[in-house]
Amino acid sequence: STYKLNYRNSKCVFILLEDHIKVAGTGSTQCSGRVEIYHNNIWGTVCDDEWDLNDAAVVCRELNCGAALSAPTSALFGEGSDQIWLNKVACSGNERSLAECEHGGFAKHNCDHSVPIRLVGSTLLSGRVEIYYNNIWGTACDNGWDLNDASVVCRELGYGAALGAFSLASSGEDTGQIWLDDVDCSGNESSLTECQHNGFGKHNCRHSKDAGVVCSGEESVPIQLAGPTYCSGRVEVYNKTWGTVCGTSWDLNDASVVCRELGCGVAKKALQSFQFGNKPGQTWLYDVTCSGNESSLTQCQYSGFGNNNCSPAGMVEPVKSEDHSDVFGVFPGESTAFLSWFLIFIQMLSSYLSQWFGDVFGREFSAFFFTASIYRLLTKDDTGEPMSL
């Protein structure tokens, strides 16, 4: 038992309460939060099975918080821990305390603090989203399903960043229970059930609209520029194989993110042409829309990953850095990998020249470009400016 201190007519009155109640959790206030009750000297939570506005009204009255505005479920204020006291609470709305309402009995429940989720598909990192609720696995409808929702799923499963939010049963249809519809995540939630939705089992869709996701399995997706230098060329991203990015809506903000991610300084142009050549095969991203402040391209909004309606004409996304360098065509942020490629080219060229002009000329030609390249690498920092030695 515990004591509650009431102030009435300037006198202190101690009222003995069999079971005390409070609200807690992420984002909670004095009158909003996760419902917890104190029983047998232990704080515990209440399962949301059959939880409704009548139940919330009793809690608000008990806390002197006025009328109940809503009765959120699915751990909206974060998941509790340890003890679960009540389940299937059924209040008429007139009770003085939650303990007076009908329920299954203290500590008698079949629920958990969290709702398990999984992906059902051809790979570990992609598939149809399923939620385990009331001892049954069920799906989520794709109404309003977007990358924010997919990001929460991937984060909850520990699968890295979300690469795509698919719909229309592109991950395969299920035939059983449908649990969630109209899911609306901000993208910062720790679990899918913390997002806004219609409530478990409340939907108006069929399994042909099952929601699915693709996760990266890592914090970011490898990216490169296929062109004459490390910092200019056709944008390509890697998902088991290198693929291109569709040119629809591609602009300088998108190019800026690519340049930042590759350490190439500021983007000068975002080209939508075949200047760097067309690449047959997979197109991974399309309808990319960046604000320009993202740290990686996959943090931007896009319509899907490997599921697109882009024609080959829009597959080329050249990006150029702001500052050009010397005659070697090297841009700021150039890596040693590019330098190695360049030196191999010089070696092959010097071998060819040796056949025509003699070994002495070939060796001198090779030595000159080798020395110049090493000097440039050692005397410029990541910004392309000379370092003080």
Dmax (CA) for the chain in angstroms is 110
Strands (E), 173-291: 177-180, 212-215, 223-229, 232-238, 242-245, 267-270, 283-286
User: For the ranges 136-150, 223-237, 311-325, which has the lowest average pLDDT?
Assistant: 311-325
pLDDT attached to residue 59: 94
| Spatial contact of 294 and 244, defined as CB atoms under 8 Å apart | no
- The pTM (predicted TM-score) of the whole model is 0.38
| Spatial contact of 96 and 62, defined as CB atoms under 8 Å apart | yes
pLDDT tops 50 at residue 3: no
| Spatial contact of 315 and 238, defined as CB atoms under 8 Å apart | no
| Spatial contact of 350 and 305, defined as CB atoms under 8 Å apart | no
How far is 178 from 206, CA to CA, in rounded Å? 8
Q: What percent of the chain has pLDDT over 70?
A: 63
pLDDT in tens, 346-361: 555 655 555 566 555 5
pLDDT attached to residue 326: 27
Q: Tell me the two tokens of residue 367.
A: 């030595």
What is the β-pairing status of strands 318-321 and 84-86?
unpaired
Average pLDDT value for residue range 160-189: 80
pLDDT tops 80 at residue 312: no
When pLDDT is cut at 50, 70 and 90, the band that residue 178 belongs to is: very high
pLDDT tops 70 at residue 322: no
When pLDDT is cut at 50, 70 and 90, the band that residue 330 belongs to is: very low
Under DSSP, is residue 182 helix (H, G, I), strand (E, B) or coil?
A: coil
Average pLDDT value for residue range 63-79: 83
pLDDT attached to residue 69: 92
pLDDT attached to residue 93: 93
Sheet holding 42-46, edge to edge: 20-29, 32-39, 42-46, 84-86
Backbone Cα Rg of the chain: 30
pLDDT tops 50 at residue 60: yes
What is the β-pairing status of strands 232-238 and 84-86?
unpaired
Q: What is the mean pLDDT of the chain?
A: 73
> What is the CA 144 to chain-centroid distance, rounded?
16
Q: 137-147 burial string, b = 16+ CB within 10 Å, else e?
A: bbbbbbbbbbb
How far is 154 from 161, CA to CA, in rounded Å? 6
Nearest to residue 189, comparing CAs of 86, 117, 84?
117
- Per DSSP, helices labelled H in the chain are 53-62, 147-157, 252-262, 336-357, 359-378
pLDDT in tens, 93-146: 999 989 899 998 888 877 766 678 888 876 667 889 999 877 788 999 999 999
Of 308 and 380, the one with more pLDDT: 308
Q: Tell me the two tokens of residue 269.
A: 């142009």
| Contacts (Cβ under 8 Å, ≥6 apart) of 317 | 234, 235, 244, 245, 246, 247, 250, 254, 255, 258, 270, 271, 272
Average pLDDT value for residue range 66-71: 91
When pLDDT is cut at 50, 70 and 90, the band that residue 184 belongs to is: very high
How far is 304 from 284, CA to CA, in rounded Å? 8
Where is 129: in which H helix or E strand?
strand 126-133
pLDDT in tens, 200-228: 888 888 888 899 998 887 656 688 888 78
pLDDT attached to residue 199: 84
| Spatial contact of 387 and 376, defined as CB atoms under 8 Å apart | no
